[in-house]
Amino acid sequence: MATQARPAPPWGAVAPRIPIWAPVAAAAGGVLAVLLPVAAVAYVVLLGLLLALRARPLPPVAVVLTAVTALAAIAGPNLAVPAAPGVFLFRVLIVALGLGVLGYLLLGGVLHWPAALSLPAGVLALLVAWAAASLAWAQDVVAAARWVALMAMMAGLAVALPVAFGTRRRAIRLLIALGIAFGVVTLISLLEIVAGVRLPTSRLAGRSADAAFAATSVFGNENNLATYLTLTLPYFLVLVVVFRDVRLRALGLVGGAACLLALLFTGSKANLLATALVLVALLVVLATDPRQRRRALSAAMVAGLAVLLVVPALRGSGVVPLPERALDKFSFSLLQEQVDQGVGSGAVRSNLLTDGVGLVGETGGLGVGAGNADVRIRSLADFPGVSNLHNWWLEVLVNLGLIGIALYVAFYALLLTRQLRAARRTRDPLVRYLALAGAVSLTGFVAGSLGPSSVLTFAPLWITFGLGMLTLVLWRRAEAEGGVLR
Protein backbone atom coordinates (compact mmCIF):
# COMPACT_ATOMS: atom_id res chain seq x y z
CA MET A 1 0.00 0.00 0.00
CA ALA A 2 1.49 3.31 -1.06
CA THR A 3 1.89 6.01 1.51
CA GLN A 4 1.68 9.71 0.82
CA ALA A 5 4.70 11.85 1.60
CA ARG A 6 4.16 14.50 4.23
CA PRO A 7 4.04 17.93 2.58
CA ALA A 8 7.00 20.14 3.30
CA PRO A 9 6.33 23.16 5.56
CA PRO A 10 6.07 26.52 3.77
CA TRP A 11 9.18 28.68 3.33
CA GLY A 12 10.14 30.32 6.61
CA ALA A 13 7.99 27.96 8.72
CA VAL A 14 9.37 25.68 11.43
CA ALA A 15 8.22 22.13 11.89
CA PRO A 16 6.79 21.62 15.40
CA ARG A 17 9.35 19.51 17.19
CA ILE A 18 11.34 19.65 20.39
CA PRO A 19 14.91 20.70 19.62
CA ILE A 20 17.58 18.32 20.86
CA TRP A 21 19.28 21.14 22.75
CA ALA A 22 16.18 21.88 24.87
CA PRO A 23 17.56 20.02 27.94
CA VAL A 24 20.81 21.99 27.65
CA ALA A 25 18.85 25.28 27.50
CA ALA A 26 16.86 24.29 30.56
CA ALA A 27 20.01 23.35 32.47
CA ALA A 28 21.65 26.67 31.53
CA GLY A 29 18.59 28.51 32.81
CA GLY A 30 18.79 26.64 36.10
CA VAL A 31 22.45 27.53 36.58
CA LEU A 32 21.74 31.21 35.84
CA ALA A 33 18.83 31.19 38.30
CA VAL A 34 21.20 30.12 41.07
CA LEU A 35 24.18 32.31 40.19
CA LEU A 36 22.66 35.41 38.49
CA PRO A 37 18.92 35.74 39.09
CA VAL A 38 18.60 38.97 37.06
CA ALA A 39 20.35 37.41 34.09
CA ALA A 40 18.10 34.37 34.43
CA VAL A 41 15.02 36.55 34.04
CA ALA A 42 16.41 38.08 30.84
CA TYR A 43 17.34 34.60 29.63
CA VAL A 44 13.81 33.29 30.18
CA VAL A 45 12.29 36.30 28.40
CA LEU A 46 14.58 35.83 25.37
CA LEU A 47 13.96 32.08 25.27
CA GLY A 48 10.21 32.66 25.50
CA LEU A 49 10.40 35.13 22.61
CA LEU A 50 12.26 32.61 20.48
CA LEU A 51 9.77 29.87 21.28
CA ALA A 52 6.90 32.21 20.40
CA LEU A 53 8.51 33.04 17.07
CA ARG A 54 8.92 29.33 16.48
CA ALA A 55 5.18 29.04 16.01
CA ARG A 56 5.04 31.52 13.12
CA PRO A 57 7.14 32.40 10.07
CA LEU A 58 10.00 34.68 11.08
CA PRO A 59 10.62 36.62 7.84
CA PRO A 60 7.65 39.06 8.21
CA VAL A 61 8.68 39.77 11.81
CA ALA A 62 12.32 40.17 10.82
CA VAL A 63 11.46 42.53 7.95
CA VAL A 64 9.63 44.91 10.28
CA LEU A 65 12.38 44.69 12.90
CA THR A 66 15.05 45.37 10.26
CA ALA A 67 13.22 48.48 9.04
CA VAL A 68 12.78 49.79 12.58
CA THR A 69 16.46 49.07 13.29
CA ALA A 70 17.55 51.07 10.24
CA LEU A 71 15.39 54.04 11.26
CA ALA A 72 16.68 53.83 14.83
CA ALA A 73 20.23 53.84 13.45
CA ILE A 74 19.57 57.16 11.72
CA ALA A 75 18.17 58.61 14.96
CA GLY A 76 21.31 57.45 16.80
CA PRO A 77 21.90 58.91 20.28
CA ASN A 78 18.58 60.79 20.16
CA LEU A 79 16.99 57.48 21.17
CA ALA A 80 19.46 56.69 23.94
CA VAL A 81 18.66 55.74 27.53
CA PRO A 82 19.01 58.97 29.58
CA ALA A 83 20.96 57.26 32.35
CA ALA A 84 23.22 55.50 29.83
CA PRO A 85 23.93 57.72 26.79
CA GLY A 86 25.90 54.94 25.10
CA VAL A 87 22.90 52.62 25.00
CA PHE A 88 21.06 53.59 21.81
CA LEU A 89 17.84 51.97 20.69
CA PHE A 90 19.66 50.96 17.51
CA ARG A 91 22.32 49.05 19.41
CA VAL A 92 19.67 47.21 21.41
CA LEU A 93 17.68 46.38 18.28
CA ILE A 94 20.63 45.22 16.17
CA VAL A 95 21.71 42.84 18.95
CA ALA A 96 18.12 41.63 19.34
CA LEU A 97 17.88 41.13 15.58
CA GLY A 98 21.09 39.11 15.53
CA LEU A 99 20.06 36.96 18.48
CA GLY A 100 16.61 36.48 17.01
CA VAL A 101 17.98 35.25 13.69
CA LEU A 102 20.48 32.99 15.44
CA GLY A 103 17.77 31.51 17.66
CA TYR A 104 15.46 31.10 14.70
CA LEU A 105 18.08 29.12 12.80
CA LEU A 106 18.83 26.98 15.87
CA LEU A 107 15.13 26.20 16.13
CA GLY A 108 15.16 24.82 12.61
CA GLY A 109 14.04 27.89 10.67
CA VAL A 110 15.24 28.61 7.16
CA LEU A 111 16.33 31.97 5.77
CA HIS A 112 16.88 32.69 2.10
CA TRP A 113 20.39 33.93 1.31
CA PRO A 114 20.52 35.65 -2.10
CA ALA A 115 23.37 34.40 -4.27
CA ALA A 116 24.15 37.93 -5.48
CA LEU A 117 24.91 38.92 -1.90
CA SER A 118 27.65 36.36 -1.31
CA LEU A 119 30.62 38.24 -2.81
CA PRO A 120 30.07 41.75 -1.37
CA ALA A 121 28.97 40.39 2.00
CA GLY A 122 31.94 38.02 1.98
CA VAL A 123 34.41 40.85 1.38
CA LEU A 124 32.74 42.90 4.12
CA ALA A 125 32.97 39.92 6.49
CA LEU A 126 36.68 39.59 5.69
CA LEU A 127 37.15 43.27 6.58
CA VAL A 128 35.46 42.76 9.96
CA ALA A 129 37.48 39.58 10.53
CA TRP A 130 40.74 41.39 9.76
CA ALA A 131 39.74 44.14 12.19
CA ALA A 132 39.12 41.48 14.84
CA ALA A 133 42.51 39.89 14.11
CA SER A 134 44.20 43.25 14.72
CA LEU A 135 43.39 42.91 18.42
CA ALA A 136 46.51 40.74 18.53
CA TRP A 137 48.80 43.76 18.04
CA ALA A 138 46.63 46.64 19.25
CA GLN A 139 48.09 48.70 22.06
CA ASP A 140 44.68 49.37 23.66
CA VAL A 141 42.76 46.10 23.41
CA VAL A 142 39.59 47.55 24.97
CA ALA A 143 39.45 50.35 22.37
CA ALA A 144 40.11 47.79 19.63
CA ALA A 145 37.37 45.46 20.82
CA ARG A 146 34.88 48.33 20.97
CA TRP A 147 35.79 49.47 17.43
CA VAL A 148 35.38 45.94 16.07
CA ALA A 149 32.05 45.47 17.85
CA LEU A 150 30.70 48.72 16.41
CA MET A 151 31.89 47.84 12.90
CA ALA A 152 30.27 44.40 13.20
CA MET A 153 26.97 46.03 14.22
CA MET A 154 27.00 48.43 11.27
CA ALA A 155 28.05 45.70 8.83
CA GLY A 156 25.24 43.54 10.20
CA LEU A 157 22.76 46.32 9.46
CA ALA A 158 24.09 46.68 5.90
CA VAL A 159 23.75 42.96 5.19
CA ALA A 160 20.33 42.69 6.86
CA LEU A 161 18.76 45.13 4.36
CA PRO A 162 19.22 43.01 1.20
CA VAL A 163 18.25 39.85 3.07
CA ALA A 164 15.05 41.35 4.44
CA PHE A 165 13.99 43.53 1.49
CA GLY A 166 14.95 41.43 -1.53
CA THR A 167 11.63 41.75 -3.36
CA ARG A 168 10.19 44.64 -5.37
CA ARG A 169 7.37 45.33 -2.91
CA ARG A 170 9.61 45.22 0.15
CA ALA A 171 12.29 47.37 -1.47
CA ILE A 172 9.72 50.06 -2.28
CA ARG A 173 8.45 49.98 1.30
CA LEU A 174 12.01 50.41 2.58
CA LEU A 175 12.51 53.42 0.31
CA ILE A 176 9.26 54.95 1.59
CA ALA A 177 10.38 54.46 5.19
CA LEU A 178 13.75 56.07 4.47
CA GLY A 179 11.95 58.90 2.66
CA ILE A 180 9.83 59.57 5.74
CA ALA A 181 13.01 59.60 7.83
CA PHE A 182 14.46 62.18 5.44
CA GLY A 183 11.35 64.32 5.90
CA VAL A 184 11.83 64.28 9.67
CA VAL A 185 15.53 65.11 9.36
CA THR A 186 14.74 68.00 7.01
CA LEU A 187 11.98 69.34 9.25
CA ILE A 188 14.31 69.43 12.25
CA SER A 189 16.94 71.19 10.12
CA LEU A 190 14.36 73.78 9.09
CA LEU A 191 13.40 74.41 12.72
CA GLU A 192 17.07 74.96 13.52
CA ILE A 193 17.59 77.39 10.66
CA VAL A 194 14.38 79.39 11.08
CA ALA A 195 13.59 79.21 14.80
CA GLY A 196 16.87 78.11 16.41
CA VAL A 197 15.17 75.04 17.93
CA ARG A 198 17.69 72.24 18.41
CA LEU A 199 17.71 68.72 19.77
CA PRO A 200 19.59 68.20 23.06
CA THR A 201 22.16 66.06 21.23
CA SER A 202 23.21 68.92 18.93
CA ARG A 203 26.69 70.26 19.62
CA LEU A 204 25.26 73.74 18.98
CA ALA A 205 22.43 73.43 21.50
CA GLY A 206 22.24 76.41 23.85
CA ARG A 207 24.42 78.65 21.69
CA SER A 208 23.17 81.91 20.21
CA ALA A 209 22.13 82.11 16.56
CA ASP A 210 24.96 84.57 15.87
CA ALA A 211 27.55 82.04 17.05
CA ALA A 212 25.81 78.96 15.68
CA PHE A 213 24.12 79.37 12.31
CA ALA A 214 24.45 75.76 11.12
CA ALA A 215 21.88 72.97 11.04
CA THR A 216 22.73 69.66 12.69
CA SER A 217 19.34 67.86 12.83
CA VAL A 218 19.47 64.39 14.42
CA PHE A 219 23.19 63.96 13.78
CA GLY A 220 24.47 66.42 16.38
CA ASN A 221 27.09 67.83 14.04
CA GLU A 222 26.75 69.90 10.86
CA ASN A 223 29.38 67.88 8.97
CA ASN A 224 27.52 64.63 9.69
CA LEU A 225 24.25 66.19 8.48
CA ALA A 226 25.98 67.42 5.32
CA THR A 227 27.32 63.93 4.58
CA TYR A 228 23.86 62.45 5.06
CA LEU A 229 22.45 65.01 2.63
CA THR A 230 24.98 64.29 -0.10
CA LEU A 231 24.49 60.53 0.30
CA THR A 232 20.73 61.07 -0.06
CA LEU A 233 20.81 63.70 -2.83
CA PRO A 234 21.31 61.22 -5.73
CA TYR A 235 18.27 59.21 -4.67
CA PHE A 236 16.15 62.32 -5.31
CA LEU A 237 17.88 63.58 -8.45
CA VAL A 238 17.71 60.20 -10.15
CA LEU A 239 13.93 60.11 -9.65
CA VAL A 240 13.72 62.96 -12.15
CA VAL A 241 15.99 61.18 -14.61
CA VAL A 242 14.66 57.60 -14.56
CA PHE A 243 10.91 57.87 -14.09
CA ARG A 244 8.26 59.55 -16.21
CA ASP A 245 5.66 59.75 -13.45
CA VAL A 246 5.09 63.45 -12.75
CA ARG A 247 4.62 62.79 -9.04
CA LEU A 248 7.97 61.04 -8.74
CA ARG A 249 9.69 63.77 -10.71
CA ALA A 250 8.14 66.44 -8.47
CA LEU A 251 9.24 64.50 -5.41
CA GLY A 252 12.76 64.33 -6.83
CA LEU A 253 12.92 68.06 -7.47
CA VAL A 254 11.53 69.01 -4.06
CA GLY A 255 13.72 66.49 -2.21
CA GLY A 256 16.83 67.54 -4.13
CA ALA A 257 16.17 71.21 -3.42
CA ALA A 258 15.67 70.41 0.28
CA CYS A 259 19.02 68.58 0.34
CA LEU A 260 20.86 71.50 -1.26
CA LEU A 261 19.20 74.16 0.91
CA ALA A 262 20.01 72.31 4.12
CA LEU A 263 23.55 71.65 2.85
CA LEU A 264 24.14 75.38 2.45
CA PHE A 265 23.48 75.80 6.17
CA THR A 266 26.13 73.28 7.20
CA GLY A 267 29.23 75.04 5.87
CA SER A 268 30.77 71.70 4.89
CA LYS A 269 33.43 72.18 2.22
CA ALA A 270 33.96 68.42 1.84
CA ASN A 271 30.32 67.90 1.03
CA LEU A 272 30.24 70.86 -1.31
CA LEU A 273 32.88 68.94 -3.26
CA ALA A 274 30.80 65.78 -2.86
CA THR A 275 27.81 67.57 -4.41
CA ALA A 276 29.94 68.56 -7.40
CA LEU A 277 31.07 64.94 -7.76
CA VAL A 278 27.46 63.76 -7.60
CA LEU A 279 26.39 66.08 -10.41
CA VAL A 280 29.41 65.32 -12.60
CA ALA A 281 29.12 61.57 -12.06
CA LEU A 282 25.43 61.61 -12.95
CA LEU A 283 26.13 63.48 -16.18
CA VAL A 284 29.11 61.32 -17.16
CA VAL A 285 27.36 58.00 -16.53
CA LEU A 286 24.36 58.95 -18.64
CA ALA A 287 26.26 60.79 -21.38
CA THR A 288 28.59 57.85 -21.98
CA ASP A 289 25.73 55.36 -22.39
CA PRO A 290 24.24 55.63 -25.91
CA ARG A 291 20.97 54.12 -24.71
CA GLN A 292 20.45 56.75 -22.03
CA ARG A 293 21.46 59.99 -23.69
CA ARG A 294 17.91 61.28 -23.53
CA ARG A 295 18.12 60.88 -19.78
CA ALA A 296 21.41 62.80 -19.93
CA LEU A 297 19.44 65.85 -21.09
CA SER A 298 17.20 65.57 -18.02
CA ALA A 299 20.27 65.16 -15.84
CA ALA A 300 21.83 68.27 -17.40
CA MET A 301 18.70 70.27 -16.59
CA VAL A 302 18.72 69.01 -13.00
CA ALA A 303 22.44 69.82 -12.62
CA GLY A 304 21.83 73.28 -14.05
CA LEU A 305 19.08 73.98 -11.54
CA ALA A 306 21.36 72.79 -8.72
CA VAL A 307 24.15 75.11 -9.85
CA LEU A 308 21.73 78.04 -10.11
CA LEU A 309 20.61 77.41 -6.55
CA VAL A 310 24.00 76.85 -4.93
CA VAL A 311 26.56 79.05 -6.70
CA PRO A 312 24.82 82.44 -6.23
CA ALA A 313 24.26 81.58 -2.56
CA LEU A 314 27.99 80.93 -2.11
CA ARG A 315 28.65 84.38 -3.56
CA GLY A 316 26.33 86.02 -1.05
CA SER A 317 23.44 86.55 -3.46
CA GLY A 318 20.64 84.48 -4.95
CA VAL A 319 17.46 83.16 -3.38
CA VAL A 320 19.20 81.70 -0.30
CA PRO A 321 20.68 84.38 1.96
CA LEU A 322 23.57 82.85 3.88
CA PRO A 323 25.13 84.45 6.98
CA GLU A 324 28.71 85.70 6.71
CA ARG A 325 30.01 82.86 8.87
CA ALA A 326 28.57 80.30 6.45
CA LEU A 327 30.31 82.00 3.52
CA ASP A 328 33.59 81.93 5.44
CA LYS A 329 33.23 78.19 6.17
CA PHE A 330 32.78 77.47 2.49
CA SER A 331 35.94 79.43 1.59
CA PHE A 332 38.69 77.18 0.21
CA SER A 333 41.13 80.08 0.12
CA LEU A 334 40.70 80.49 3.88
CA LEU A 335 41.41 76.77 4.29
CA GLN A 336 44.64 77.11 2.33
CA GLU A 337 45.67 80.10 4.46
CA GLN A 338 45.12 78.03 7.61
CA VAL A 339 47.33 75.27 6.26
CA ASP A 340 50.06 77.72 5.26
CA GLN A 341 49.97 79.55 8.61
CA GLY A 342 49.62 76.39 10.72
CA VAL A 343 46.40 77.49 12.42
CA GLY A 344 42.74 76.47 12.45
CA SER A 345 41.04 73.32 11.24
CA GLY A 346 43.02 73.31 8.00
CA ALA A 347 46.30 72.97 9.85
CA VAL A 348 44.88 70.36 12.21
CA ARG A 349 43.67 68.17 9.33
CA SER A 350 47.00 68.55 7.54
CA ASN A 351 48.88 67.48 10.68
CA LEU A 352 46.54 64.54 11.23
CA LEU A 353 47.18 63.34 7.69
CA THR A 354 50.95 63.54 8.18
CA ASP A 355 50.82 61.84 11.59
CA GLY A 356 48.45 59.11 10.36
CA VAL A 357 50.60 58.19 7.38
CA GLY A 358 53.63 58.23 9.67
CA LEU A 359 51.99 55.68 11.99
CA VAL A 360 51.29 53.38 9.07
CA GLY A 361 54.96 53.57 8.12
CA GLU A 362 56.07 52.85 11.69
CA THR A 363 54.00 49.66 11.74
CA GLY A 364 55.36 48.46 8.43
CA GLY A 365 51.96 48.83 6.78
CA LEU A 366 50.25 46.56 9.32
CA GLY A 367 48.32 49.36 11.01
CA VAL A 368 48.08 50.23 14.70
CA GLY A 369 45.11 47.93 15.29
CA ALA A 370 41.38 48.57 15.24
CA GLY A 371 40.34 51.67 17.17
CA ASN A 372 43.91 52.54 18.16
CA ALA A 373 44.51 55.44 15.78
CA ASP A 374 43.10 57.90 18.33
CA VAL A 375 45.16 56.30 21.10
CA ARG A 376 48.41 56.59 19.18
CA ILE A 377 47.70 60.15 17.97
CA ARG A 378 47.09 61.29 21.56
CA SER A 379 50.41 59.78 22.65
CA LEU A 380 52.45 61.72 20.08
CA ALA A 381 54.95 64.22 21.48
CA ASP A 382 53.64 66.82 19.06
CA PHE A 383 49.93 66.14 19.64
CA PRO A 384 47.91 68.18 17.09
CA GLY A 385 45.10 68.87 19.59
CA VAL A 386 42.57 66.54 17.94
CA SER A 387 42.91 62.75 18.05
CA ASN A 388 40.23 61.74 15.56
CA LEU A 389 41.55 61.60 12.01
CA HIS A 390 38.51 63.27 10.35
CA ASN A 391 39.11 61.16 7.25
CA TRP A 392 37.46 57.74 6.96
CA TRP A 393 39.88 56.47 4.32
CA LEU A 394 42.80 57.47 6.53
CA GLU A 395 41.12 55.99 9.62
CA VAL A 396 40.77 52.59 7.97
CA LEU A 397 44.36 52.76 6.71
CA VAL A 398 45.88 53.73 10.07
CA ASN A 399 43.81 51.27 12.11
CA LEU A 400 43.84 48.26 9.77
CA GLY A 401 46.89 48.91 7.62
CA LEU A 402 47.37 48.15 3.94
CA ILE A 403 45.42 44.90 4.06
CA GLY A 404 42.47 46.57 5.76
CA ILE A 405 42.31 49.48 3.31
CA ALA A 406 42.66 47.03 0.40
CA LEU A 407 39.66 45.05 1.64
CA TYR A 408 37.62 48.22 2.15
CA VAL A 409 38.51 49.58 -1.29
CA ALA A 410 37.65 46.19 -2.83
CA PHE A 411 34.23 46.21 -1.16
CA TYR A 412 33.61 49.83 -2.13
CA ALA A 413 34.72 49.33 -5.73
CA LEU A 414 32.67 46.15 -6.02
CA LEU A 415 29.47 47.95 -5.05
CA LEU A 416 30.28 50.96 -7.22
CA THR A 417 31.21 49.10 -10.41
CA ARG A 418 28.46 46.50 -10.20
CA GLN A 419 25.81 49.15 -9.65
CA LEU A 420 27.13 51.05 -12.66
CA ARG A 421 26.89 47.85 -14.69
CA ALA A 422 23.33 47.25 -13.46
CA ALA A 423 22.32 50.82 -14.30
CA ARG A 424 23.49 50.31 -17.89
CA ARG A 425 22.17 46.79 -18.50
CA THR A 426 18.93 46.33 -16.58
CA ARG A 427 15.50 46.74 -18.13
CA ASP A 428 13.77 47.14 -14.76
CA PRO A 429 13.08 50.80 -13.80
CA LEU A 430 13.40 50.21 -10.04
CA VAL A 431 16.75 48.45 -10.42
CA ARG A 432 17.98 51.16 -12.80
CA TYR A 433 16.94 53.83 -10.31
CA LEU A 434 18.60 52.17 -7.32
CA ALA A 435 21.75 51.28 -9.26
CA LEU A 436 22.29 54.74 -10.75
CA ALA A 437 21.52 56.54 -7.49
CA GLY A 438 23.69 54.15 -5.47
CA ALA A 439 26.69 54.44 -7.78
CA VAL A 440 26.49 58.23 -7.89
CA SER A 441 26.06 58.38 -4.10
CA LEU A 442 29.22 56.33 -3.54
CA THR A 443 31.10 58.54 -6.01
CA GLY A 444 30.17 61.63 -4.02
CA PHE A 445 31.12 59.98 -0.75
CA VAL A 446 34.74 59.74 -1.86
CA ALA A 447 34.92 63.44 -0.92
CA GLY A 448 32.01 63.49 1.54
CA SER A 449 33.83 61.06 3.84
CA LEU A 450 36.30 63.84 4.67
CA GLY A 451 33.58 65.78 6.51
CA PRO A 452 32.65 63.76 9.64
CA SER A 453 35.16 63.10 12.39
CA SER A 454 34.45 59.38 11.84
CA VAL A 455 31.89 57.33 9.95
CA LEU A 456 32.42 54.08 11.82
CA THR A 457 28.95 54.41 13.35
CA PHE A 458 27.50 56.79 10.75
CA ALA A 459 24.34 54.90 9.86
CA PRO A 460 23.55 56.62 6.52
CA LEU A 461 26.76 55.24 4.99
CA TRP A 462 26.05 51.67 6.07
CA ILE A 463 22.45 51.99 4.89
CA THR A 464 23.82 53.17 1.53
CA PHE A 465 26.03 50.07 1.47
CA GLY A 466 22.96 47.99 2.28
CA LEU A 467 20.98 49.62 -0.54
CA GLY A 468 23.87 48.89 -2.89
CA MET A 469 23.84 45.20 -2.00
CA LEU A 470 20.04 45.19 -2.23
CA THR A 471 20.35 46.58 -5.76
CA LEU A 472 22.57 43.68 -6.81
CA VAL A 473 20.10 41.21 -5.30
CA LEU A 474 17.16 42.81 -7.14
CA TRP A 475 19.13 42.92 -10.40
CA ARG A 476 19.84 39.18 -10.20
CA ARG A 477 16.19 38.55 -9.35
CA ALA A 478 14.97 40.68 -12.26
CA GLU A 479 17.22 38.82 -14.69
CA ALA A 480 15.84 35.52 -13.43
CA GLU A 481 12.27 36.78 -13.96
CA GLY A 482 12.79 37.81 -17.57
CA GLY A 483 14.39 41.22 -17.04
CA VAL A 484 11.67 42.93 -15.01
CA LEU A 485 10.78 42.47 -11.35
CA ARG A 486 7.33 41.10 -10.64
Q: Higher confidence at residue 466 or residue 49? A: 466
Instruction: Produce one character per residue of 91-101: b if its CB has 16 or more CB atoms within 10 Å, e if not.
Output: bebbeebeebb
Is the pLDDT reported for residue 404 higher than 90? Answer: yes
pLDDT at 25: 62
Q: Among 165-169, 257-261, 350-354, 381-385, which is the least confidently predicted range?
A: 381-385
Is the pLDDT reported for residue 141 higher than 60? Answer: yes
pLDDT at 327: 84
CA distance 272 to 278: 10
CA distance 76 to 202: 12
pLDDT at 347: 75
pLDDT at 342: 65
Q: Among 50-54, 352-356, 370-374, which is the least confidently predicted range?
A: 50-54
pLDDT at 214: 87
DSSP letters along 199-249, please?
Answer: -TT-TTTT--TTT-----GGGTSHHHHHHHHHHHHHHHHHHHHH---HHHH
- Rounded to the nearest 5°, which phi and psi values hold at 206? 85, -5
pLDDT at 165: 95
pLDDT at 348: 78
pLDDT at 478: 95
Q: Higher confidence at residue 9 or residue 434? A: 434
pLDDT at 108: 73
CA distance 262 to 240: 20
pLDDT at 332: 76
pLDDT interval class at 24 (50, 70, 90):
low
Is the pLDDT reported for residue 105 higher than 90? Answer: no
Q: Among 127-136, 213-222, 231-240, 466-475, which is the least confidently predicted range?
A: 213-222
pLDDT at 380: 84
pLDDT at 442: 98
| Radius of gyration for the chain, computed over Cα atoms and rounded to the nearest angstrom | 24
CA distance 149 to 128: 9
Is the pLDDT reported for residue 157 higher than 70? Answer: yes
CA distance 187 to 201: 16
CA distance 373 to 356: 8
Is the pLDDT reported for residue 11 higher than 60? Answer: no
Is the pLDDT reported for residue 439 higher than 70? Answer: yes
Q: Where are the domains of the chain?
A: 39-111, 120-343+369-480
pLDDT at 1: 46
Average pLDDT, the chain: 87
Is the pLDDT reported for residue 381 higher than 90? Answer: no
Is the pLDDT reported for residue 355 higher than 80? Answer: yes
Could you give the residue ranges of the DSSP H alpha helices within 165-199?
A: 168-195
